[in-house]
Amino acid sequence: MIIVIDGINQHKFNHVLDDMYKLRARVFGDRLGWDVNIQDGREKDQFDDLHPAHVVSINDEGDVVGCMRLLQTTGPHMLADVFSSIMDGEPPIRSSQVWEATRFCVDTKKLGRGRGKNSVSYVTSEVMIGSFEYAQEAGVLDAIAVIDPVMNRVLQRSGNAPCDYVGSAKPMGKVVAMAALMDCSDERISAIREYADIDHDVFLTDEQALERFETGRIAFQQDATTANLDHQPLTELEKYFVEQMHSATTKTEVEAVLRLIEALSDRFTPEQKTALLKTPRAFAHEA
């Protein structure tokens, strides 16, 4: 589900924003190798200080699994100030009815393949629907998005093909960046909804989003206290299992890890074993 965080409600969502900056660091810094500034494991730039709107996808456990950043093209924005080479030296588009979308990403580690609710494809569509509907309600008619060719293909495949491009694609660090135009129309929104099979309202109210995040945190804390009773640092073997559990993407893989823990149970105290079996999530956070 989607929560829009802007300068007005951001004080309630500092923890969500923090998780979002961490996700962006993992995606743009580690995975895509963009030339971005990462500090303390968080990717943040000067545009984040200008009170943009962040369209954030939060899963049932309260984790940030996708996001996108929106700015007005009337004010400072990336195509005008950072990605200006894409515009081939031309002045950027400036209109109160065109927004700029940047820093779109999803958590490929937490999300799986396929088309289900916890898939990359579903969350991609959810963030897109959230952004376009939010823009549409604001009287905005088009969005200009800075994307890479991979994202471009994802959009074309998911009922959300850009209607045109502005300027020309330019290398940025290890990747190529391009500026895509997308109309914020009913047609586009229904095409994405149809592709992703999403027909419900995707937005959470501030209260619902906070509740969701709190529930996730309480569950996590309970896990952590019952799980790590001895409060000892994790052993190498425990860490190994945690990593395995973390990288497991299917149910079969999870079960395989659990079987392995069972098989090696003589290496643990009974408490450690129950903890590992019961709450992989609690440990995963410590590794």
Partner 1 sequence: MKLIDLAAIDHEEKSAYDIINSVCDELGFDYASYATTHPVKGDVQGYANYPDEWKIHYGSQGFHKVDPTLYQSALSIAPVDWGRFNHDDKFNAVFRDAHDFGITDRGLTVPIRGPYGECGLLSVTKDCSDTEWKKLKKHVMGDLQLAAVQAHDTVMQSGLLAKALYLPALSSREKEILQWTAEGKSQQDIGDILCISHRTVEVHMRSGREKLGALTTPQAIGRAIGLGLIYPG
Q: Which two tokens stand for residue 169?
A: 């694609």
Q: What are the distances in angstroms from CA 71 to CA 68, 80, 130, 251, 267?
A: 10, 11, 15, 40, 54
Residue 252's CB is within 10 A of a number of other CB atoms, namely 8
Q: Which two tokens stand for residue 136?
A: 């549409």
Residue that the structure tokens 């049932």 belong to: 60
Cβ atoms of 236 and 256 within 8 Å: the answer is no
Is residue 208 part of the contact set for partner 1 (CB under 8 A)?
Answer: no
Is residue 201 part of the contact set for partner 1 (CB under 8 A)?
Answer: no
CB of 152 to partner 1, least distance (A): 16
Give the footprint of partner 1 on residues 80-139 (CB under 8 A): 80, 87, 90-99, 134-135, 137-139
Q: Which two tokens stand for residue 112?
A: 């799986």
Span near partner 1 by CB under 8 A; candidates 5-13, 219-227, 240-248, 271-279: 5-13
Provide the CA 248 distance to its chain's centre, in angstroms: 19
**CA separation for the pair 24, 104 (Å, rounded):** 9
Span near partner 1 by CB under 8 A; candidates 12-20, 51-59, 101-109, 240-248: 51-59
CB of 130 to partner 1, least distance (A): 12
Question: Closest CB to partner 1 among 75 and 173?
Answer: 75
CB of 239 to partner 1, least distance (A): 43
Residues at the site binding partner 1, with contacts judged by CB under 8 A: 6-8, 50-53, 70-76, 80, 87, 90-99, 134-135, 137-142, 163-164, 166, 181, 183
